[in-house]
């Protein structure tokens, strides 16, 4: 069961060979996917041989194999974690009933919407990152970018499989539409805001993979609890791949901080202008990038009060993060949760039914997880003997969704008026100058073992290869 059939045109462990209609439909979608990749995948990369991992099994021990491949020949396929025929629904109104092997008619529209929304983020990030290869700070980083790109492509496959297999004709139409929307396109944009923002430089890329791929982790974890068993199994396997994306973000930012800290010590200064002149990114700029990506990402969890969130939970479509590890009744009726709102120029907590606040619950779980990594970044500063620290902004800062979207809040959580906001916004969010400065540092460094001046080398290479391994062979 856990081994993947590679003799098929579409590698899979779902017995695709036995379902001729499905196989034919997916084989028709496949060339359109490749066209999409050629069109908006990593720029100029067609002839590169890249040292990539490919899933060969869903066995947690040894699921991947490393080797050189051309990205458009990557074996994108369909991999589900093994199922448990006896699995029971473990939350919501259907708790205790048998999990669904197929989509119940009454939940079809909601399930389709959730799968399409998740699926849409996968190609979106590939589009957002498509030009980054041209300014990679090292061959090691270039390889990591490409690894993330092919795996986001595979995540699209994972969602498209569910649409084709379980949603008939509308599923097939949705699968086509996933290849037609474009990140940032005025007429046909991607569904969610953060996935229409540009990822113009590598600091943005590392912040994106730290924060926004982590949003992916929390969404996938919530879907891995789903009563719709194929969705639970496919998202569980996606999570295996996702861990590397967040590692790239966390270690990437960490290496930027390490390099900046070294320059601060060398030059005995924390003055931004002197550090910039030395070609490293000053900490206030890193903080502003953090503020931006953090706030845009926490918006992705949706409105703090949402009747849809309640429906998704009660009907068993989407659970909470680590639902199975929680010790409450898993039904949540009559329970409450605190959300924030602005009242008379102040942020106040308000108690609301927990079922309606499940977006906020997931957002708060995400916040806890992200703060932990920021603490690890601060260790780098501590180790360098510097007193400076990075922080995550208040959760009401720079919000565009939910009850907080109508107010302006400073990073330390004060409601401010329009004048104070405009006077300070360039200290709180990346300014045009910040972005121009970071852009000015971006240049292609791709000789094995060489690194751009603004980032420290990693502690070790990929798959126990040396740091100066030739991860990408240019054609
Ligand atoms: Fe993904
Ligand atoms: Fe990802």
pLDDT tens-place string over residues 260-306: 999 999 999 999 999 999 999 999 999 999 999 999 999 999 999 99
Ion ligand 1: residues, CB within 5 A, are 122, 152, 155
pLDDT tens-place string over residues 112-163: 999 999 999 999 999 999 999 999 999 999 999 999 999 999 999 999 999 9
In degrees and rounded to multiples of 5, residue 325 shows phi and psi of -90, -5
Examine the pLDDT at 199 and tell me if it is beyond 50.
Answer: yes
Report how far ligand 1's centroid is from the alpha carbon of 149 (Å). Answer: 9
| Residue with token string 């051309």 | 70
Q: What is the pLDDT of residue 475?
A: 77
Report how far ligand 1's centroid is from the alpha carbon of 202 (Å). Answer: 19
Long-range CB contact pairs, 25-28, < 8 A, 24+? 25/164, 25/172, 26/78, 26/160, 26/161, 26/164
Report how far ligand 1's centroid is from the alpha carbon of 331 (Å). Answer: 29
Q: What is the pLDDT of residue 4?
A: 73
The answer to whether 416 touches 408, Cβ cutoff 8 Å, is yes
Q: Which string of DSSP letters, residue by residue, matches 170-194?
A: HHHHHHHHHHH--TT-SSS--SSGG
Cα–Cα distance between 208 and 211 in angstroms, integer? 5
Please, which pLDDT band fits residue 3 given cuts at 50, 70 and 90?
Answer: low
Q: What is the pLDDT of residue 1?
A: 45
Report how far ligand 2's centroid is from the alpha carbon of 68 (Å). Answer: 21
Q: What is the pLDDT of residue 2?
A: 55
CA dihedral 232, 234, 240, 241 (to 10 degrees): -140
Report how far ligand 1's centroid is from the alpha carbon of 276 (Å). Answer: 34
Cα–Cα distance between 272 and 274 in angstroms, integer? 6
Report how far ligand 2's centroid is from the alpha carbon of 408 (Å). Answer: 30
pLDDT tens-place string over residues 375-417: 999 999 999 999 999 999 999 999 999 999 989 999 999 999 9
Q: Which string of DSSP letters, residue by residue, matches 81-137?
A: PPP-TT-B--SSTTTTSBPBSS--GGGHHHHHHHHHHHHHHHHHHHHHTTTGGGG-S
Q: What is the pLDDT of residue 248?
A: 98
Question: Residue 464 has which token pair?
Answer: 């126990």
Which residues, in sequence order, are bridge partners of residue 350? 339
Report how far ligand 1's centroid is from the alpha carbon of 214 (Å). Answer: 10
Report how far ligand 2's centroid is from the alpha carbon of 439 (Å). Answer: 24
Report how far ligand 2's centroid is from the alpha carbon of 400 (Å). Answer: 23
């Amino acid at each position: 069961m856990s081994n993947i059939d590679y003799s098929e045109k579409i590698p899979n462990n779902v017995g695709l060979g036995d379902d001729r209609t499905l196989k034919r439909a997916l084989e028709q979608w496949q060339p359109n996917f490749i066209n999409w990749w050629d069109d908006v995948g990593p720029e100029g990369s067609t002839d590169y041989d890249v040292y990539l991992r490919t899933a060969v099994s869903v066995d947690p021990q040894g699921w991947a194999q490393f080797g050189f491949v051309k990205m458009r020949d990557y074996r994108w396929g369909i991999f589900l974690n093994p199922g448990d025929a006896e699995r029971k629904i473990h939350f919501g109104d259907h708790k205790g009933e048998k999990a669904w092997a197929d989509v119940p008619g009454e939940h079809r529209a909601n399930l389709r919407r959730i799968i399409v929304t998740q699926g849409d983020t996968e190609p979106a990030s590939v589009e957002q990152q498509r030009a980054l290869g041209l300014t990679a700070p090292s061959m090691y980083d270039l390889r990591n970018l490409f690894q993330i790109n092919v795996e986001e492509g595979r995540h699209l496959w994972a969602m498209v499989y569910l649409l084709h297999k379980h949603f008939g004709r509308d599923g097939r139409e949705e699968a086509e539409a996933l290849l037609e929307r474009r990140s940032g396109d005025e007429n046909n944009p991607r569904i969610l805001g953060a996935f229409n923002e540009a990822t113009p430089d590598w600091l943005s890329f590392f912040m994106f993979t730290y924060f926004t791929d982590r949003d992916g982790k929390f969404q996938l974890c919530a879907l891995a609890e789903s009563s719709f068993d194929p969705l639970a199994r496919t998202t569980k396997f996606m999570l295996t791949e996702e861990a590397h994306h967040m590692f790239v973000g966390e270690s990437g930012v960490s290496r930027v901080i390490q390099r900046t800290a070294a320059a601060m010590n060398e030059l005995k200064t924390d003055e931004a202008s002197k550090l910039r002149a030395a070609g490293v990114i000053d900490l206030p700029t890193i903080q502003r990038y953090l503020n931006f990506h953090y706030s845009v990402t926490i918006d992705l969890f949706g409105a703090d009060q949402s009747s849809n969130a309640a429906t998704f939970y009660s009907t068993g479509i989407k659970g909470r993060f680590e639902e199975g590890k929680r010790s409450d009744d898993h039904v949540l009726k009559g329970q409450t949760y605190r959300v924030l709102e602005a009242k008379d120029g102040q942020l106040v907590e308000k108690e609301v039914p927990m079922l309606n606040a499940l977006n906020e619950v997931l957002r708060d779980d995400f916040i806890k997880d992200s703060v932990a990594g920021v603490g690890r970044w601060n260790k780098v500063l501590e180790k360098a003997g510097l007193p400076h620290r990075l922080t995550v902004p208040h959760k009401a800062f720079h919000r565009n969704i939910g009850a907080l979207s109508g107010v302006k809040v400073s990073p330390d959580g004060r409601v401010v008026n329009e004048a104070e906001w405009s006077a300070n916004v360039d200290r709180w969010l990346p300014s045009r100058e910040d972005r121009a400065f970071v852009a000015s540092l971006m240049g292609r460094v791709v000789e094995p073992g060489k690194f751009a001046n603004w980032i420290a080398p990693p502690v070790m290479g990929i798959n126990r290869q040396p740091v100066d391994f030739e991860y990408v062979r240019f054609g």
